[in-house]
Amino acid sequence: MFEAIAFYLFAILTIVMFYIVVTTKQALFALTALAAGMIFISAFFFILGADFLGVVQIIVYTGAVMALYAFGMMFFDTTREVKEKNGSSLIIMGLSILSAVFVVAIFSAPIIGSNIESLYPTIEGATNSQSVGMVLFTKYLVPFELAAVMLLVAMVAGIVLAGKKMDRSLTLMAEEEILLSQEANKKVIL
Amino acid sequence: MMEIGLTHYLILATILFSIGLIGVMRRKNLLMLFFATEILLNAVNVGFAAISHYYNDLTGQMFAFFIIAIAASEVAVGLGLLIVWHKRNGNINLDTMSSMRG
């Protein structure tokens, strides 16, 4: 009963929030609605008993990714909106809904088959975080480490792409060069 | 109606996925395009978590974790590229990205 009420409430809230994201003209509205939608998505994970996934959703998506987007938006003039001339929105909506239904049908087709066995069944008597830890650090250890390395590479790539004058290294420059560049900076400030 | 099954969650994931696809197709602002891809990834995550719950299998949750990790690194690299593009060209309109057109 309560599960059904929670499901429908959060489903409506999530759909409304994500619809605002794809239709609004203001970038700030879109960012805020997306953050709210992410929080509401985490509610589904808590309803489904995937507690750890829900916490990760809140921390990583709304904490890190949304903060990064907010940081990135400071670089752009968000008040000057990009002019978006759209074609027929009816065709776009029809095509999107049709292809989404096809994708879900293709990927959920194996459910109809009856001989489905759990690859890693949930462990009896263990909480969700415990069983997640057991499976993640035994069966999925190598993909986990690969994901960690990938995040490190992405972090370095993001810093290098966004950073200015990263080709100048103070440790490789002579003392006079550093002093000269400091003098030049002072002149710019004055 | 009152008993929430796997079908309900799959229908919800379909709706969220189609909203994300609509966003990908009709937005011209590159930042909004990134937002729409986040919606797509979240829709898939909901489907994975639901299947994981209704089949008592942890594989779905594992895949959802890896999807979140991929989304985080995609944001880091994509936002860096976006900043470089904005510094060079002064706008983030998708229609201006036609420098490789023949």
Residue A6 confidence (pLDDT): 92
Using an 8 Å Cβ cutoff, are A33 and A20 in contact? yes
Cα separation, A118 vs A26, in Å, equals: 45
Distance CA A68, CA A39 (A): 16
If you average pLDDT over residues A159-187, what whole number do you get? 73
Contact B8 A101 (CB under 8 A): no
For the stretch A13-40, what's the b/e string if a residue is b when 16 or more beta carbons lie within 10 angstroms of its beta carbon? Answer: bbbebbbbbbbeeebeebbbbbbbbbbb
SS3 of residue A121 by DSSP: strand
What's the rounded mean pLDDT across residues B81-93?
80
Dump pLDDT digits (tens) for A120-135: 777 777 888 899 898 8
Q: Which residues of B touch A28 (CB under 8 A)?
A: none
| A190 pLDDT more than 70 | no
Identify from B3, B12, B19 which residue to disrupt to test chain A contact, counting A C-beta atoms within 10 A and taking the largest count.
Answer: B19
pLDDT score recorded for residue B28 = 82
> What single-letter DSSP state applies at residue B98?
-
Please identify among residues 119-148 of chain A the ones whose CB lies closer than 8 Å to any CB of chain B: 119-122, 131-132, 135-136, 140, 143, 147
Is a pLDDT exceeding 60 seen at residue A79?
Answer: no
Which of the four pLDDT bands, split at 50, 70 and 90, describes residue A5? very high
Closest among B98, B101, B51, B45 to B68, alpha carbons compared: B45
